[in-house]
Amino acid sequence: MVTTTERRDFNRVPFQHDADLYLGSHCWHTDILDLSLKGALVKRPEEWPANIGELCKLILPLDAGGDHIEMHCTLVGTSEGRLHLLVNEMDVTSASRLRRLMELNLGTPELLERNLGKLIDTHH
């Protein structure tokens, strides 16, 4: 699988999947375009009202049984109908699921370990 770094600390993997994006109590359906351990690139929903710097929540359903990844994010940029989200926090279960998803899509354990090391370093 192809990964993209583009001057980023964390490797991104293309990952097309439906998701829900929340701003306050309002929800929009969106498509995830790529993911990293620290962010996501999603399709901008129609009539999306948020400005850069606003907090939102991204929920990525994983199966019909209700398993999902929930990421609390900040909108850090927009481009060509896309929203750039920086993950601020997630619970342990979501972090474990995201780690596994990244592990499967990065292709090599070394890339995952390097990304995890950078993630841990940013929180100290």
Phi and psi based region of residue 81 (left: phi greater than 0; alpha: psi -120 to 50; beta: remaining):
left
pTM listed for this prediction: 0.78
Q: Are 73 and 52 in contact (CB under 8 A)?
A: no
Structural domain spans, the chain? 13-122
Give the mean pLDDT of the chain.
Answer: 82
Q: What is the pLDDT of residue 1?
A: 35
Q: Which tokens sit at 114?
A: 């390097």
User: What is the per-residue pLDDT across 32-86, written as a single tens digit (0 to 9) for each?
Assistant: 999 988 899 999 999 999 899 999 999 999 888 889 999 999 999 999 999 999 9
Q: Which tokens sit at 34?
A: 């790529």
Q: What 3-state class would DSSP assign to 99?
A: helix
Q: What residue has token string 């192809």?
A: 2
Give the distance, in angstroms, between the CA of residue 96 and the centroid of all CA atoms in the same chain: 13
For domain 13-122, the CATH class is mainly beta
Nearest to 57 by CA among 12, 90, 16, 8: 90
Q: What residue has token string 């009202």?
A: 49
